[in-house]
Structure 1
């Protein structure tokens, strides 16, 4: 009989009956409690947090279903599962916590969802070297809390930290809210252990750097499970900050604020948080976070680290801002942002639960000399069809990321057609303006159509690497434009 709730949904496809022989073979590897073919489990793993799949679910559609969910607890089990899947040409989709927003874990060809969350141990902390080795299924907030108890921080704080894993961060090339100081996930990784499609376990050396040919770990970081399954990682650590200073400024326009930011970081000052909200984003986002009486182009700054360094960074940044027209708002707005910095991500379901409403985020990036052009081009293209707000973050001496949020209602077409139009418009504008189509959310399924334009002839190189490492094409098929 149908399990409660499942039979009430109108699905675009029936639940295929899982192969009992495959089920038995998987149980022989991970045990009865390590495999599920239950309909509710298969339904739960049929999507991630990509808004496109949420629109499907809102309409009662579940186009893609896995046959099995498998929970390994050690690398050896991952190796055995992939060896088996490769021999039987079974698709395998590596799964962290399902918080991705690009459809990266959609089981487009059925098969196995390989959920790594039971591989959640910190293996070792090397205090002298300030590194940590951990299994990649560990949840982000749990990982950070355990490191804090030991006196360290990873410095990686994505908005999804409560519902994402170390492996997911590495696979999707993640960036956190404090990335201007601590770097992105690729800057933090020292070494990796991973399993290839044929079950081969590979491990890179734990060294700060080497000049011994290609850096193999960076072949896997950002490949979203298409080249291998990352199982363990050794990461750089930082001491817990001794001090933290909050500061906010209001600027008359975006270009003036960006010039202040550019001058600051190119001088060598790297605040932990640098976020510039344009007027629309200030009005909508900060109000949604409970901040009152804020308007204009709002710059949020947070400095943290050693006391003397933090004080000097704050002083120097204040000097660069004061050289341009702006209003010193003190610590209040930045402190409020800090206390509520994860809240906005959990407000999206309130909007997407309403019929006809569409909401998504589009994060692009470019160099300083092109940043205002990219901002203006994408906004101009999107504004006629959807409400568009933006903030600038993830600052580099060479450029920055622009994080567009779009909110609209499908008036004259279906939700899905309207959603596709938004993305087609945004990606065309970004590529026309010379930006990259993704700064830190990755590619997955949703942005795959634009990978050839992003990479040109290098997509052929990527396909050859894929064919060499995964000739049967079992690893996360249909993603990344492959």
Structure 2
């Protein structure tokens, strides 16, 4: 047994990352995703998606072009050219104490004070972040220095060093945060060190007997999945940001994935994790499936958002690759029918790997993103439309679509599909086929690119999410939409979009994801206006029984609601943990609760 354990844990594999150390060689510095992938307007005035990484790559999108013009009143002949050169920004100077820099050199961790390296790791993907980079002013505070530890031991040495020199550490994974979690606190006077974990991306061991694997926390989601698939396994965790977010970031924000019904959320997948704090390493140091040994204090790692330490290694559950993966979809006459169907699916506990429901606005949006088909394909679309409206009696202005992904053996998938379709039929659902299901699932990875195009044409947009009990779901969705509508009327915003989808289901409730954007032509400070309206919407969410967040975390954007809606006893426990694990407030990122910037 001991020999086998040693053999398993010695299988260290170096993994080539999709995001190199020089991340800007591949990724945009002032937008979402890959440099070669984006929506742009051609000389003919048609929106096109570039690159070949996605299914709609190098494709003209005339339906989408028409949709944005009609819904958001976009003038495609009037473009706000985004800033392409960061040197026009007035960056805060890098101030690194000599004694700390000399000490850093002794522990031989790679570092840089390069301006673009500091800037590109001092922000996430909030509307404020990207608008500031493309069209506004630089952030009032960015990091002073970036470091790249290569393993757990180097992180231990680094934390000891900064604790001694009273320097601030902010962990940085994939940079996909939409909560302001990696934003440098504006009033922090101490030297701020960004800890880029990208070089900690190895597979440390894989235990096939117990279906476990241990990775360093800096590994990017798609790299981890690629490595597991080479050996016939999967972890099944697939958030929308899966291409760019890191394993450590998932743990730090209590992430959820599109296939959580089969594989679980991140807290269900993790069997052990190491987090380096100024007071030592927090870990279970065990691979057993469960323990009843008092309170599980390691749970404080989940959702800690860089405030207590740096996550360095994570042991996760894995599963053999499914033999069969099949997409499908169902159309309902209205959103209420779709929600009732999802509730019944959850009640019977027969959710497939992924089940998501888009409201009518998102349904039309998804249809608009389809490319021009062949004559035969267009005829089929017309026939399907006539079938829905003429025979089924559906109204195209109210229908919604549920996308499905089934995994398992062929017989398991077939049986599962039949069961879901029977439930859907009882709520007037009509099977819409595999193609629509797959397109709806894959478009998730492309949608994030749209915001960069929108900013070029006077549109600001963002998403926000919540979890809510089943009996409040419809009320919450309708109330949030009404709140946004009322706020837009007050501000004389005439062209806007507010839509929602149900993305994850549970026994007792679901996750609802909202998209909101508006044309800000004629208005000043669109980002401030957006945050005002979203804040009103989030107040409505909480008043309707929803949570502050389902999977995006708290960061700085939602800290107000966290403090207001979290019991004082819980806040005091978190404060006590912070004071015990980080008495000098080295991890002064400022998420969740704002602590004094100096020693606690």
Is residue 579 of structure 2 the alignment partner of residue 467 of structure 1? yes
Is residue 169 of structure 2 the alignment partner of residue 92 of structure 1? yes
> For residue 192 of structure 1, what is the aligned residue in structure 2?
273
Structure 1-normalised TM-score?
0.94
> For residue 446 of structure 2, what is the aligned residue in structure 1?
343
DSSP 3-state at the match of 1:117? helix
Is residue 264 of structure 2 the alignment partner of residue 183 of structure 1? yes
Structure 1 Cα separation of the partners of residues 338 and 372 of structure 2: 21
> For residue 428 of structure 1, what is the aligned residue in structure 2?
539
Structure 2 Cα separation of the partners of residues 194 and 290 of structure 1: 46
For the 8 Å contact 1:125–1:132, the answer to whether it is kept is: yes
Give the stretch that moved more between structures: 446-455 or 124-133.
Answer: 446-455
> For residue 41 of structure 1, what is the aligned residue in structure 2?
117
Q: CA RMSD in A?
A: 1.9
Closer, same or farther: CA 421–18 of 1 in aligned 2, 3 Å: same
> Aligned to 1:308, which of 394, 411, 416?
411
Structure 2 Cα separation of the partners of residues 343 and 289 of structure 1: 12
Give the stretch that moved more between structures: 298-307 or 143-152.
Answer: 298-307
Structure 2 Cα separation of the partners of residues 237 and 391 of structure 1: 29
Deviation digits for residues 54-102 of structure 1 (CA, Å, limit 9, x no counterpart)? 2222203222211111100111111111111112221110110111111
Structure 2 Cα separation of the partners of residues 365 and 290 of structure 1: 33
1:289 Cα deviation after fit: 5.4
DSSP 3-state at the match of 1:225? coil
Closer, same or farther: CA 124–286 of 1 in aligned 2, 3 Å: farther
> Aligned to 2:96, which of 10, 15, 18?
18
For the 8 Å contact 1:246–1:301, the answer to whether it is kept is: yes
1:158 Cα deviation after fit: 1.2
For the 8 Å contact 1:56–1:62, the answer to whether it is kept is: yes
Closer, same or farther: CA 450–74 of 1 in aligned 2, 3 Å: same
1:361 Cα deviation after fit: 0.6
> Aligned to 1:324, which of 411, 418, 427?
427
1:207 Cα deviation after fit: 1.2
DSSP 3-state at the match of 2:364? helix
Give the stretch that moved more between structures: 224-233 or 403-412.
Answer: 403-412
Gaps spanning 5+ residues in structure 1: where? Answer: none
DSSP 3-state at the match of 2:161? helix
The aligned runs of 1:228-247 (5 Å cut-off) are 228-247=309-328
> For residue 300 of structure 2, what is the aligned residue in structure 1?
219
DSSP 3-state at the match of 1:394? strand
> For residue 53 of structure 1, what is the aligned residue in structure 2?
129
Is residue 247 of structure 2 the alignment partner of residue 135 of structure 1? no
Closer, same or farther: CA 353–212 of 1 in aligned 2, 3 Å: farther
> For residue 412 of structure 1, what is the aligned residue in structure 2?
523
The aligned runs of 1:256-335 (5 Å cut-off) are 256-288=337-369, 290=371, 296-335=399-438
Closer, same or farther: CA 286–81 of 1 in aligned 2, 3 Å: farther
Closer, same or farther: CA 95–286 of 1 in aligned 2, 3 Å: farther
For the 8 Å contact 1:96–1:116, the answer to whether it is kept is: yes
Structure 2 Cα separation of the partners of residues 479 and 443 of structure 1: 7
Q: Please tell me whether Structure 1 or Structure 2 has the larger radius of gyration of its CA atoms.
A: 2
Structure 1 Cα separation of the partners of residues 530 and 138 of structure 2: 16
1:123 Cα deviation after fit: 0.6
For the 8 Å contact 2:94–2:113, the answer to whether it is kept is: no
Structure 2 Cα separation of the partners of residues 50 and 466 of structure 1: 26
Structure 2 Cα separation of the partners of residues 346 and 417 of structure 1: 22
> For residue 163 of structure 1, what is the aligned residue in structure 2?
244
Structure 2 Cα separation of the partners of residues 358 and 68 of structure 1: 31
Q: Number of matched residues?
A: 474
1:332 Cα deviation after fit: 2.1
> For residue 359 of structure 1, what is the aligned residue in structure 2?
461
Structure 2-normalised TM-score?
0.76
Structure 1 Cα separation of the partners of residues 87 and 414 of structure 2: 61
Is residue 105 of structure 2 the alignment partner of residue 27 of structure 1? yes
1:432 Cα deviation after fit: 0.9
For the 8 Å contact 2:100–2:165, the answer to whether it is kept is: no
> For residue 390 of structure 1, what is the aligned residue in structure 2?
500
Structure 1 Cα separation of the partners of residues 94 and 145 of structure 2: 11
Closer, same or farther: CA 182–9 of 1 in aligned 2, 3 Å: same
Give the stretch that moved more between structures: 115-124 or 321-330.
Answer: 321-330
1:203 Cα deviation after fit: 4.2
